[in-house]
Structure 1
Amino acid sequence: MDMTITTPSLLFPAISLLLLAYTNRFVVLTNVIRQLSSSDDAISRDVVRRQIDNLRRRVQIIRAMQAFGVLSFVFCTLSMFALLLQWLMPGQWLFATSLILLVISLLCSFYEVHISTNAINIELEKFDQHRKTK
């Protein structure tokens, strides 16, 4: 298989957009944490305690998503550099490694989305509790 420098360069926009999306998820998560810390009513305290473990796990997963995404970007860049120097086999291996890291990053993202739905269900329970007390 003959690989040119343009093959890995096709991943650059995709990886950049993924990293932007991961950063946005992180920002949203920090806003949620700030909102939870300002909650004072008794019903919310139980919900906050339950959300904390969920949020900690999500922060760790988002960190892993970002790390694997950045590593994918680095290996993709190294692949392009190797192909530029006509090192075909190392360039192909670096590109393959970049793809594997990208898949791991996407799987982490999928898992984080799954966990975030649990957080939403906990929040919905809070609304149910408020409705029952009225």
Structure 2
Amino acid sequence: MNLQIETPALLFSATSLILLAYTNRFLTIAQIVRGLKKTYDQDHSKSILLQIKNLNLRLSLIRYMQLFGVLCLFLSVFAMLCLFLEQQTLGIYLFAGSLLSLLASLGISFWEISISVTALRLHLSDLIDEKTK
């Protein structure tokens, strides 16, 4: 199998956009956590504490999503370097590692989105229950 130096470079634009989206999600959740923390300090609601716990898990998952996304870029760069230095076999393995890192990042992203959807459904369940009465 012959891998061209341009192939690992294809991941740069996609991975950069994914990392930007992950960062935006992180910043949004961090802002929500700060607001909930202020509210919790005032009334010590168990519901708010559970929301903060859920968001804390999501922040941890986003950190791992970002870690694997950066690892994907890192391995892609090394794959390109190896291909440039005519180390075809090592370049192929590094590129494969970068693809696996991207898959891990996307898998964790799916997990985080699932948690988010479940939390939103739980949050909206009161409205749905009232509407059906």
Tell me if TM exceeds 0.5. yes
TM-score by length of 1: 0.86
Unaligned ranges ≥5, structure 1: none
Q: What percentage of residue pairs aligned between the two structures are identical? A: 41
Query: Quick one: distance in 1 between partners of 2:96 and 2:19?
Result: 19
Query: Quick one: distance in 2 between partners of 1:120 and 1:31?
Result: 17
Residue type of the partner of 1:93? Y
Aligned to 2:73: 73
Residue type of the partner of 2:90? P
Say whether residues 1:25 and 2:22 are aligned partners: no
Unaligned ranges ≥5, structure 2: none
What secondary structure sits across from 2:4 in the alignment? coil
Q: Which runs of 4+ in 1 moved over 4 A?
A: none
RMSD: 1.9
Query: Quick one: distance in 2 between partners of 1:50 and 1:124?
Result: 15
Going from structure 1 to structure 2, the CA distance change for 1:72 and 1:96 (only over 3 Å counts) comes to same
Displacement, 1:10?
0.6
- Number of residue pairs the alignment of both structures matches: 127
Residue type of the partner of 1:50? L
Residue type of the partner of 2:56? R
Structure 1 segment 22-101 matched on structure 2, within 5 A: 22-39=22-39, 45-101=45-101
Query: Quick one: distance in 1 between partners of 2:91 and 2:46?
Result: 53
